[in-house]
Structure 1
Amino acid sequence: MTGADPEIVRRALDTGDPLPGTNGFAGELDGGLVRDVLGRVPLFFDGQEWSHRPTDLPDPTRLPAGHVRADGELTRQFSLPDPAPVETNAGVEAVREAVRTAVDGVDPAGHAIAFSGGLDSAILAARLDAPLYTVGFPDSHDIEAARTAAALLDRDLTVVTLDRERLERALPEVVAATGRTNAMDVQIALPLYVLAEAVRADGYERLVLGQGADELFGGYAKVARAPDDPRVEAETVRGARREMIETLPAQLERDVLTLWSGGVEPVVPLLSDAVVRAALALPAEALVTDRGERKWALRLAARPFLPDRIVFREKKAVQYGSLVARELDRLARERGFKRRQDDHVTAFIESIATEDGLPGST
């Protein structure tokens, strides 16, 4: 069992508690396989064999998050709770306490922090004495944002600079590790892979990341615009936020497999069970204010230990902030994949996978 004491997992199975106080778990237990409700640890099987990495198996099948496989049968064991919303101030305080406990519980020895200069990674940097690393092309938003935020926190920063050669070298490695060739997944995974390699080369075995905060705390514009945004089905902000949380297993599988391939173990304290439980209880107005301000509860929770210039800043998604999406688009067009064709970047990535004989799917 990876990620939790087997006794905790047994109790969770007995009680049906989806958030028993862990940071995620997956593996074999009492002759069966089990995976936590958010899929924070990947798990695959092929007949009686299983592994955390699909590349270890001839014909891997993913064990879905929250499921148990026993005697060849799949059963959903865990589902996310849907608590009634609490009052905003109480919700913010609960989030603050959960975040403090989760982040402060990380032993910084052997750890580095993936630092983009945004709210989520700044929370980690403010509370953990571990070196800060950022990644991007030289003129990228992420590098500038990380530098200004590190200065505000009076912290040193290591910049991992991307270039075309590094991007091309990492591309088949990411496809091989994740089995994915769609443009969005690869654009997100590429900077993570390069960052992981650099951190590992500097002697750090674990990388602390702020993954999950946007999903938990209403960080997406489509959540803020619910029910008017066609990208979500929900009729409420809380419902749209839940839709985003339900995308986490697929996202986390991609990120974890990428980081493992880069040589580091990911640590994601903002996805601890306690933080998830506190986030789920937030009312809509603590996720998105009537002025459209997103992740409001997390911002208020972080004010005691972050300057307001960081707390209330907006930041681009990693694929855009690092300029990886731009450069991958340019690379695809240089190789003859024109924007007028459908999803030309994915078509380019698929061609690389085919050339290298890599398994991949969109």
Structure 2
Amino acid sequence: MRGADPETVRRALESGEPFPGTAGFAGRLDGRLVRDVLGRQPLFGTPADWGFSPADVSATAPTPVPPGHVRERVDGELVDRRRWSLPDPPVADDTEAVEAVERAVHGAVTGVDDGSLAVAFSGGVDSALVAAGVPDAPCYVAGFPEAHDVAAAREAAAAMDRELRVVELTHADMERAVPRVVAATGRTNAMDVAIALPLYLVAERVAADGVDRLAVGQGADELFGGYAKVVDPAADDRVAATTVRGATRETIRSLPDQLARDALTLRAAGVEPVTPLVADRVVTAALPLPGHLLATPDERKIALRRAAAGWLPDDVVTADKKALQYGSLVSRELDRLARQAGFKRRMDRHVDRYVESLID
């Protein structure tokens, strides 16, 4: 069992409690495979042939255990049974809601064991909160020299008086890493590869520096209303919901797929991921937030920023954050490499096809 002790998981199975105080769990228990409600730990295969990555399973293309499910053999048939569902609590009072977020986030990030730990640091409020919880851990940022994330990380690290190590990316780095990322994740689409590449390359540097755990701020955008598409969901065809809370729940449901990709990527680079902002206590505090504390046309991640005020420098609390693939410029440069290799934009899936060519 990874992420929790077996007895905690047994109690959660008996009670149906989706958030029993862990940071996510998965593994084999009493002849069954179990995976937590947010899929924070990837899990593949069958009770007789299973693992935490596809490479651990002897079968070709093993299927992942769905989040919140138990996988077992029943009368010789492999069955997935849902055991936990994402709660839908009533909206909380504004003051109580922000205080709950502050307590949960502070407890989660300061509770991280800082032994042999580094922080993936982009200069935004998410990674800054993680870094604040482990003040002695070195911070790393990956990007091309002119990337937004590199400049933002330098400014934030200076404001927080933190050591920052910059991993300057090159085209050769990307071409070398693409096959490794694809092998680890099983994904060749441009979006997933562009997100995974900077994670892999910063983790590779962290491992080379003798550190074997990397703390990341993943999950905060999904939980706290960090995406533009949740601001006015009724007018945005990227979400089905018509309210900010509803659209935020849609992004939360996307977490299992994203967290699995990131965990597999980081482990392939030689480090173990640490994700305090998706700990049970943080998710429990985020779910009751009213829409106006998630996102408005003027601000996103409102409750999280209020919780960070007074702990982080003001400029870091309010800092703009680009998505990893754009803030590092990896998405732009992956497109450039594809076109240089003859995969023009007029071609369908031109970057996907370039990625596939590197695998071939």
Q: Distance in 2 between matches of 1:224 and 1:292?
A: 9
The answer to whether the aligner puts 1:112 opposite 2:92 as a matched pair is no
What TM-score results when the alignment is normalised by the length of structure 1? Answer: 0.96
Show the 5 A alignment for 1:39-58.
39-46=39-46, 48-57=48-57, 58=59
Deviation, structure 1 residue 191: 0.3
- Aligned residue among 69, 72, 88 for 2:71: 69
Q: Distance in 2 between matches of 1:46 and 1:9?
A: 18
Deviation, structure 1 residue 47: 6.9
Q: Which residue matches 1:320?
A: 326
Deviations 1:25-44 (A, max 9, x none): 00001110100001000000
Deviation, structure 1 residue 294: 0.6
Deviation, structure 1 residue 150: 0.4
Show the 5 A alignment for 1:266-281.
266-281=273-288
The answer to whether the aligner puts 1:296 opposite 2:302 as a matched pair is yes
SS in 2 for 1:194: helix
Deviations 1:174-226 (A, max 9, x none): 01110000000000000000011100010111000000000000000001121
SS in 2 for 1:305: coil
Q: Which residue matches 1:284?
A: 291
Contact map agreement 1:224 1:292 (CA 8 A) in 2: no
Q: Distance in 1 between matches of 2:168 and 2:192?
A: 21
Unaligned runs of 5+ residues in structure 1 are: 356-362
The answer to whether the aligner puts 1:124 opposite 2:130 as a matched pair is yes
What TM-score results when the alignment is normalised by the length of structure 2? Answer: 0.97
Contact map agreement 1:205 1:265 (CA 8 A) in 2: yes
Name which of structure 1's ranges 68-77 and 196-205 shifts more when overlaid on structure 2: 68-77
Contact map agreement 2:2 2:26 (CA 8 A) in 1: yes
The answer to whether the aligner puts 1:259 opposite 2:261 as a matched pair is no
SS in 1 for 2:33: strand
The answer to whether the aligner puts 1:169 opposite 2:171 as a matched pair is no
The answer to whether the aligner puts 1:38 opposite 2:38 as a matched pair is yes
- Aligned residue among 88, 92, 95 for 1:86: 92
Contact map agreement 1:138 1:161 (CA 8 A) in 2: yes
- Aligned residue among 160, 165, 188 for 2:195: 188
Q: Distance in 2 between matches of 1:319 and 1:339?
A: 18
CA 214–275 in structure 1, closer or farther in 2 if over 3 Å, else same: same
Q: Which residue matches 1:245?
A: 252
The number of residues matched between the two structures is: 353
Contact map agreement 1:112 1:206 (CA 8 A) in 2: yes
4+ residue segments displaced more than 6 Å: none
- What letter is aligned with 1:206? R
- Aligned residue among 207, 220, 229 for 2:214: 207
Contact map agreement 2:36 2:68 (CA 8 A) in 1: yes
Deviations 1:93-113 (A, max 9, x none): 000000111111111110000
Q: Distance in 2 between matches of 1:67 and 1:113?
A: 31
The answer to whether the aligner puts 1:25 opposite 2:25 as a matched pair is yes
Q: Distance in 2 between matches of 1:126 and 1:31?
A: 41
Matched residues, percent identical? 61
Name which of structure 1's ranges 45-54 and 249-258 shifts more when overlaid on structure 2: 45-54
Q: Distance in 1 between matches of 2:70 and 2:139?
A: 38
Q: Which residue matches 1:11?
A: 11
Q: Which residue matches 2:239?
A: 232
Deviations 1:294-322 (A, max 9, x none): 10000000002111111111111110110
Q: Distance in 2 between matches of 1:53 and 1:125?
A: 28
- What letter is aligned with 2:152? A
Contact map agreement 2:111 2:133 (CA 8 A) in 1: no
SS in 2 for 1:73: strand
SS in 1 for 2:233: coil
SS in 2 for 1:299: helix
Q: Distance in 2 between matches of 1:337 and 1:194?
A: 24
Deviation, structure 1 residue 120: 0.3
Contact map agreement 1:333 1:339 (CA 8 A) in 2: yes
Contact map agreement 2:46 2:71 (CA 8 A) in 1: no
- What letter is aligned with 1:228? A
Deviation, structure 1 residue 127: 2.3
CA 31–283 in structure 1, closer or farther in 2 if over 3 Å, else same: same
Name which of structure 1's ranges 48-57 and 230-239 shifts more when overlaid on structure 2: 48-57
Deviation, structure 1 residue 292: 3.1
Q: Which residue matches 1:147?
A: 154
